[in-house]
Amino acid sequence: MADIIPSNPDAVSESLAQFASGLTTYLDYLGVPSEAVLVEQSERRKVINNLPDVVALLNDEQKQSAMYLSKFVAACGIGLFDAALNYLWDETVRSIRDKVTRFDLDYFFSTVVTDPARRSKLRTPEDLAKIEDWELIKGSMEAGIITDIGYRHLDYIRSMRNHASAAHPNQNDLSGLQLVSWLETCVKEVLAKDPVGPALEVRRLLKNIRENTFSSSDTPAIIEAIKLLPDELLISLSRAIAGMYGDPSLDAHVRNNIKLIAAGLWGAAPDDAKYEAGLKQATLAANGDVARAKLIREFLDLVDGLSFLPAETLAVEIGTAVDSLYSAHQGWSNFSREVAPARALSRLIPANGAVPHSVEAKYVKVLTLCRIGNGYGVSNAAVPFYDELISKWQDRHIRIFTRLPYDREFLSRLQSTSCGQEYAALATRIKTQAVNTEINRGLDKIISFPPNAMGRLGTDSEYQRIVKR
């Protein structure tokens, strides 16, 4: 056999040319098409001559496991370039799956699959077959297993494989240099390359979270390392940690480890990751996965992330919190009882103060009622929460504030001189936040109106004209 197949590329090309000629003759003998089945010998020679330099990039162990690469070489030599591209892609996918398994399977699944229902069915290396090729390479890029540049090249090769290979019948021409170039890309970016740098830090952290027990003294160094990660890895890591925390079967020491680093990770993570965690909780709740939804909500509460729930869910949460605060304010011993619901409400409101429109009016009214007190004073312990929330008000909130004297319940409260004084003082404070000219005029009217007559503000003709405008 050694005498038949020479060892140098030129001789191999000549030998394969003879084989191709014989194969074409045999196709003619069978009476099946023989034209344009095999690519030209000159194109095959380009591949054969360049293969040694590209394959040399692999170490011996990598070469021994690259079965589809052997098929790629065979297909190129024969002249079936479309099949060769298919084999090259199969080898690349096999290699990526192997790297994912050795890297961190749970982390990868959490990175690539955001649907909780689908994610719950992905556990083992065999489940990687359920991940489509585009998800595999995109998830590998987001997890840091392959580079961004590598992903772009591989996505292009994947597209060519789908439209110009034996995977789909076609008449597209593939050149020898194209195949060699794509082979070199796959070798450099996947077959001969393992994750490096920040991705290894993520793998090390996940391993330590699962296997070790953290103390509070360990936290600062871990958080500092997390802050150095690129945004893409922070998003993937946040997704993985939240998903891990939401696992009802998670060991207690792992959950405690997460609690120690959760706030630091959350603070470093981009908003995209935070909104994704909020959506995950809402999706789990909507799907009836009570246990996981409860744990993800606990995680969001732990990191002060409830404000990142979806608008529909947030509206329900804020509405419930406002109702609780209102009940505490109206009930017995309200000065002490207002603190807990005020704190809970503050955790739901984002930094920009945005509140779903469906609960805006109730939110502004109750917050104002609590802040101006009830004639006997205000809840001093809850005031910091009220002031913080009111400081986030924008024009649409302040417009509601200026119209409160038309609300019967609020108007009744203004019969108290002390409440009228507090209302005017609050108008003075938020005047610096208002942008709209008419809103500012409304605030000026509130500020200048006699506190002991504030209950008649709604009937003042000038005030009515301002509010209507």
pLDDT at 19 over 80: no
The answer on 186 and 39 residing in a single domain is: yes
- Residue 206: C-alpha distances to residues 94, 104, 141, 159 (Å): 24, 8, 18, 33
Q: Which of 13-27, 74-88, 177-191, 257-271 has the highest mean pLDDT?
A: 257-271
SS (H, E, C) 224-263: HHHHCCCHHHHHHHHHHHHHHHCCCCCCHHHHHHHHHHHH
Residue 286's pLDDT band, with cuts at 50, 70 and 90, is confident
Query: pLDDT tens for residues 389-398?
Result: 999 999 999 9
* Angle ∠(236,239,241) on CA atoms, nearest 5: 110
Instruction: Please check whether residue 246 lies inside any domain of the structure.
Output: yes
The answer on 291 and 160 residing in a single domain is: no
Distance, in Å, from the CA atom of 91 to the CA atom of 185, rounded to the nearest integer, reads: 13
The answer on 46 and 121 residing in a single domain is: yes
pLDDT at 6 over 60: no
Which of 329, 316, 454, 442 lies closest to 386, judged by CA?
329
The answer on 451 and 416 residing in a single domain is: yes
The answer on 55 and 181 residing in a single domain is: yes
Query: pLDDT tens for residues 199-243?
Result: 888 888 999 999 999 999 989 999 999 998 888 888 889 988 998
Instruction: Please check whether residue 94 lies inside any domain of the structure.
Output: yes
Instruction: Please check whether residue 1 lies inside any domain of the structure.
Output: no
Give residue for tokens 């050795």: 102
The answer on 351 and 293 residing in a single domain is: no
Instruction: Please check whether residue 3 lies inside any domain of the structure.
Output: no
Among the candidates 140, 169, 191, a domain finishes at 191
Query: pLDDT tens for residues 123-163?
Result: 899 999 999 898 899 888 888 888 888 888 888 888 888 77
Q: What pLDDT score was predicted for residue 312?
A: 86
Q: What pLDDT score was predicted for residue 3?
A: 44
Among the candidates 255, 273, 305, a domain finishes at 305
Q: Please give the residue range of the domain that contains residue 236.
A: 198-305
Distance, in Å, from the CA atom of 271 to the CA atom of 181, rounded to the nearest integer, reads: 39
pLDDT at 285 over 70: yes
Query: pLDDT tens for residues 161-176?
Result: 877 655 554 545 688 8
| Mean of pLDDT values over 68-90 | 86
Q: Which two tokens stand for residue 231?
A: 């945004």
Q: What pLDDT score was predicted for residue 17?
A: 67
Instruction: Please check whether residue 4 lies inside any domain of the structure.
Output: no
Pick the residue with more confidence: 168 or 109? 109
pLDDT at 271 over 90: no
Distance, in Å, from the CA atom of 150 to the CA atom of 138, rounded to the nearest integer, reads: 10
Instruction: Please check whether residue 432 lies inside any domain of the structure.
Output: yes
pLDDT at 12 over 70: no
Query: What average pLDDT does the structure give for the chain?
Result: 86
Instruction: Please check whether residue 2 lies inside any domain of the structure.
Output: no
The answer on 417 and 442 residing in a single domain is: yes
The answer on 460 and 336 residing in a single domain is: yes
Q: What is the count of structural domains for the chain? A: 3
Distance, in Å, from the CA atom of 98 to the CA atom of 151, rounded to the nearest integer, reads: 17
Among the candidates 137, 171, 191, a domain finishes at 191
The answer on 462 and 371 residing in a single domain is: yes
Q: What distance, in Å, lies between the first and last C-alpha atoms of the chain?
A: 96
SS (H, E, C) the chain: CCCCCCCCHHHHHHHHHHHHHHHHHHHHHHCCCCCCCCCCHHHHHHHHHHHHHHHCCCCHHHHHHCHHHHHHHHHHHHCCHHHHHHHHHHHHHHHHHHHHHHHCHHHHHHHHCCCHHHHCCCCCHHHHHHCCHHHHHHHHHHCCCCCHHHHHHHHHHHHHHHHHCCCCCCCCCCCHHHHHHHHHHHHHHHHCCCCCCHHHHHHHHHHHHHHCCCCCCCHHHHHHHHHCCCHHHHHHHHHHHHHHHCCCCCCHHHHHHHHHHHHHHHHHCCHHHHHHHHHHHHHHHHCCCHHHHHHHHHHHHHCCCHHHCCHHHHHHHHHHHHHHHHHHHHCCCHHHHCHHHHHHHHHHCCCCCCCCHHHHHHHHHHHHHHHHCCCCCCCCCCHHHHHHHHCCCCHHHHHHHHCHHHCHHHHHHCCCHHHHHHHHHHHHHHCCCCCCHHHHHHHHHHHHCCHHHHHHHHHCHHHHHHHHC
The answer on 167 and 39 residing in a single domain is: yes
Q: What pLDDT score was predicted for residue 2?
A: 41
Instruction: Please check whether residue 172 lies inside any domain of the structure.
Output: yes
The answer on 321 and 231 residing in a single domain is: no
Residue 68's pLDDT band, with cuts at 50, 70 and 90, is confident
The answer on 294 and 404 residing in a single domain is: no
Q: What pLDDT score was predicted for residue 1?
A: 36
